[in-house]
Amino acid sequence: MTLSAEERYPVAEPRPAPTLADTGPLGEILEATRARHLPNRQGALADYIPELAAVEPDPFGLAIATVDGRLIATADAELPFTIQSVSKAFVYCIALELVGRDAVLERVGVEPSGDAFNAIVFDPHTNRPFNPMVNAGAITATAIIHQATGGHAFELILERLSAAAGRRLELDEAVYRSESDTGHRNRAIAHLLHNVGAIDGDVDAVLDAYFRQCSILVTACDLACMGATLSHIGENPITGRQVFDLTAVRNTLAVMFTCGMYDYSGHWAYDVGIPAKSGVGGGVVGVVNRQLAVGSFSPRLDAKDNSVRGVAAFKDLGEELGLHAFECSNIGSSYVSALLGAPQA
């Protein structure tokens, strides 16, 4: 018996609304971080997508979701915006799960490109996209899902992202139309991918699924929950639903660490030191393995197309909470500690 996507990955009941009541020191740190960077008006909106150029530029929301199921949020953390490139990480995870690591690696690599996210350039040694966090690689990952699901890529992507967020997500129809009407550069990339054999089938159908996945509405709280699902080895820590395969999660986090912040990824790994993904809608999600995830939303972007306030807030939170992967106070997996046992006297 073949199960539908809805039957295989049913969407959880809506999560409880987050509250700042009794959040303790973590809530205080989150509020202080927001207050510190709220006056920052640097950066600009993503004006190459008409609908994004018209959004309100001033909101700034932060949220933290922990692997023990707590959700802490500031003001503006439940304001909706489109997920844009943050979707790439989760779509890559789905592609890995559907067809396996080796099959995905045959069509998209895992090396940082050093180029802009929308660059029309492939790895000269493989003639494939450098990694799944740039547009060429992300379109390829969507094409893999499109092929594996018999043309039902977007339906599966929406169901899985909804399960990770812990509530049913929706499409922003206006942004989808805006991206579809103006996405000529992505069309050029997709046709070149088809020409070199990185994607098969109906190019227009793959692009439609890609434009739709980027136009899914989320909040900073959603991103925190989705990130915490990766942090919790694929299980949503609030709903208890297993959403992603653990091996696919590990590989996804590795690529997020090295490639997730466009051509700022090296500095991000150096300064913040956690797997993350940003989007031109103003969202950023960061994942601290087996501990927590942070979601942020602020639409003004820097020259690398990352959220100005989001990057600044992550730097502060990483420093104050010791989140860097190589921070001496980050003790790592409790599973390893349990295996090693208590130190001998």
pLDDT of 6 above 70: no
Where residue 9 falls among pLDDT bands split at 50, 70, 90? Answer: very low
User: Which carries the bigger pLDDT value, residue 116 or residue 161?
Assistant: 161
Query: Which of the following is catalytic: 110, 262, 294, 298?
Result: 262
Per-residue pLDDT tens digits for 270-318: 999 999 999 999 999 999 999 999 999 999 999 999 999 999 999 999 9
What is residue 341's predicted lDDT score, i.e. its pLDDT?
55
What is residue 310's predicted lDDT score, i.e. its pLDDT?
98
- Is 210 designated active site? yes
State which H helix or E strand residue 30 sits in: helix 24-37
Query: Which of the following is catalytic: 9, 67, 86, 88?
Result: 88
Per-residue pLDDT tens digits for 69-107: 999 999 999 999 999 999 999 999 999 999 999 999 999
- Is 304 designated active site? no
Where residue 23 falls among pLDDT bands split at 50, 70, 90? Answer: low
Query: Which of the following is catalytic: 85, 87, 113, 215?
Result: 85
pLDDT of 12 above 80: no
Could you tell me where the beta strands, DSSP code E, fall in 153-273? Answer: 170-171, 216-218
Computed over every residue of the chain, the mean pLDDT equals: 89
Query: Using CA atoms, how far apart are residues 292 and 228, in angstroms rounded to an integer?
Result: 5
What is residue 336's predicted lDDT score, i.e. its pLDDT?
46
Where residue 113 falls among pLDDT bands split at 50, 70, 90? Answer: confident
C-alpha pair distances (Å), 186 with each of 42, 179, 221: 28, 10, 29
- Paired with 286 in beta bridges are 276, 294
- Is 108 designated active site? no
Q: Which residues of 120-137 are buried (b: 16+ CB within 10 A; e: fewer)?
A: eebbeebebbbbbbbbbb
Query: Which of the following is catalytic: 9, 92, 176, 210?
Result: 210
Query: Using CA atoms, how far apart are residues 158 and 169, in angstroms rounded to an integer?
Result: 7
Please state the pTM of the whole predicted model: 0.91
Quick check: helix, strand or coil at residue 324? coil
User: Quick one: average pLDDT of 252-270?
Assistant: 94
Per-residue pLDDT tens digits for 24-64: 888 999 999 999 999 999 999 998 899 999 999 999 999 99
Query: Which of the following is catalytic: 280, 287, 288, 311?
Result: 280
Where residue 5 falls among pLDDT bands split at 50, 70, 90? Answer: very low
CB-CB contact of 301 with 282 (8 Å): yes
What percentage of residues in the chain have a pLDDT greater than 90? 78
- Is 85 designated active site? yes
**Which class is 25-323 in CATH?**
alpha beta
